[in-house]
Structures are given as C-alpha cells and as structure tokens.
Amino acid sequence: MVKIGAHVSPGNVVTEAQVRGADIVQVFLGNPQSWSTPTFSHAGGSAGMKQALLDAGIDAYVHAPYLINIPTTNNKVRIPSRKALQQTVDAAFEIGAKGVIVHGGHVPKEDDPAAGFANWKKAVDQLDMKVPVFIENTAGGERAMARTLEAIAKLWEQVGHTDIGFCFDTCHAWAGGIDLTDAVTKIKSITGRIDLVHANDSKDAASSGRDRHANIGQGNIELAQLIAAIKTANAPVITETPGDEQEQAADITLLRSRLG
C-alpha cells in the first residue's frame, strides 16, 4: 500500500500527522525563505524528533529552503545555495529523514541554460548525500532546469551518474506544460526513478507557469487523470494542499480511497 501524508509543522510532528491521518510527513527545518541554518523546534531537538517519528512509525521527508538555486550563475546565490543544501541534508540525517527535496532552480534570463546544468553537476559531485536528495520539477521559468521534459533530460545528463533522485509534483507538471497522461512514464524513462510524489491539484490552467496548489479534486486537473499519474509513479505521496488539518485530512482520505 502506498504511504500517503502531508507537509506539516515540525514542532509537534507526530500529532500533526495523526490529526490528518498521515502515514508520512514532509517538513521544513527552519524558515524556508531564509539562509539561516536548520533548526529543530521539536521537544528534545533533533534526537527528540527522530525518536518520536520512530515510535510512531512515521517516515519524514525534509523540503529544502525555497531560496536555494543550485544552477544559477550568480555567485552570491549559488555559493550559499550549495551550503544551505548540505546543511539541510545534514539536518535531515539527524532526524532520520528518508530524503531531502530541492527545487531544480533556474539561470538568469541572459544566461545559457547549459551553464545551469553544469552547475548542478558540480554541486552533486561535491554533495555529501547522508540521506537521498530528490530534485523536484518546477512550474515556471523559461530557463528552469526541471520544468520541461527536455530540460529534465539535459539535467539528468549531468546528474544521472550519481544517486540523485526525483520528486514529481503533479501541479508543477500541469502548470509547466507536461501532459499528465504520460508524464510519469516519460520522466521515468529519463531519470529511471520517481522517489516521491507531491500530489497537488492546480488552481490554474495547464501550461500557466503558475505554482498555485488546490485541494485534490477541487482544481483544474481532472481527478481521474491526477490519480492515474500518482498510481503510475508508485512512490510515497505527500500533499501540499491549502487549508487546515481537516481539509488536508480530506485530501489524504480521498487519495487513499482512490489509490488503494
């Protein structure tokens, strides 16, 4: 049976999971809009969080800060991005996380995307992956490293020699112009794997380039198409949908009923 969960607050992670009926969780360790080092708000710090998750039998994933942009040619962003990603991996290891999710990033509009793909290779070659790292497809940006199938293929030419993984976001694929009908099959043919699914509906039309999540079955993605893509991925599922714990619990219940 596929494990299904949600993105939750890390301070009381087990309770946050239980009120949603989640098998697994995803968390930020600190402010996702900051370069500050990861923090552990859970009682007992990282050790307390790790033990609580173990006792509850709940797997955790860590989402890296949004500021991280590994491929950029801007040194003032790329260098701290590499540092922040390593710090996030190290912190994820401390809590026994199953993986770290990081966005594919982009290069400035005046630069050749080839430089960004090369920067990703340099980064993964230097990264100490104490836990697995999954690159996530993104919704917008003409020079994004992981928006289109063509870009993902070029990215994997540079990082595929490592054990880097892939996180498939349904809303991002939809907004990025990837046809969900065969998106998973085509991505797997490129990466050889999908390690985690971000199951999100979309508030916007296909190919909009807009990253606005909707609750499952309440957005613009046909529910049957969304469920079929998630089934084909055959990986753990995290919802990142709007609303409170009741709304997210409803999303998990719906997904569980359809995925079996």
For the chain, the average pLDDT equals 97
Question: Can you tell me the distance from the alpha carbon of 158 to that of 238, in angstroms, rounded to the nearest whole number?
Answer: 27
Question: Can you tell me the distance from the alpha carbon of 28 to that of 11, in angstroms, rounded to the nearest whole number?
Answer: 10
Q: Residue 253: which pLDDT band, with cuts at 50, 70 and 90?
A: very high
**Residue 10, pLDDT score:** 96
Q: Which residues of 119-134 are buried (b: 16+ CB within 10 A; e: fewer)?
A: bbbebbeebebebbbb
**Residue 141, pLDDT score:** 86
**Residue 15, pLDDT score:** 98
Mean pLDDT value of segment 60-85: 97
Q: Say if residue 86's pLDDT is above 90.
A: yes
Q: Which residues contact 18 (CB under 8 A, 6 or more apart)?
A: 56
What are the extents of the domains in the chain? Answer: 4-243
Q: Which residues contact 174 (CB under 8 A, 6 or more apart)?
A: 180, 202, 206, 220, 221
Two tokens at 67? 């500021």
pTM of the predicted protein model: 0.97
The model's pLDDT over 100-152, given as tens digits with 9 standing for 90+, comes to 999 999 999 889 999 999 999 999 999 999 999 999 999 998 899 999 999 99
Mean pLDDT value of segment 220-229: 98
Mean pLDDT value of segment 236-260: 97
Q: Say if residue 12's pLDDT is above 90.
A: yes
Question: Which among 242, 236, 259, 231 has a CA at the least distance from the CA of 61?
Answer: 236
SS3 sequence, 171-197? HHHHHHCCCCCCHHHHHHHHHCCCCEE
Question: Can you tell me the distance from the alpha carbon of 15 to that of 22, in angstroms, rounded to the nearest whole number?
Answer: 10
**Residue 95, pLDDT score:** 98
Question: Can you tell me the distance from the alpha carbon of 60 to that of 24, in angstroms, rounded to the nearest whole number?
Answer: 6
Which CATH code is given to the segment(s) 4-243? Answer: 3.20.20.150
Mean pLDDT value of segment 77-81: 98
**Residue 119, pLDDT score:** 98
The model's pLDDT over 165-195, given as tens digits with 9 standing for 90+, comes to 999 999 999 999 999 999 999 999 999 999 9
Two tokens at 45? 């710090």
**Amino acid letter, 219:** G
Q: Say if residue 260's pLDDT is above 80.
A: no
Question: Can you tell me the distance from the alpha carbon of 181 to that of 108, in angstroms, rounded to the nearest whole number?
Answer: 31
**Amino acid letter, 114:** A
Two tokens at 123? 């980064």
CA distances from 116 to 60, 121, 122, 183, 239 (A): 29, 9, 10, 23, 29
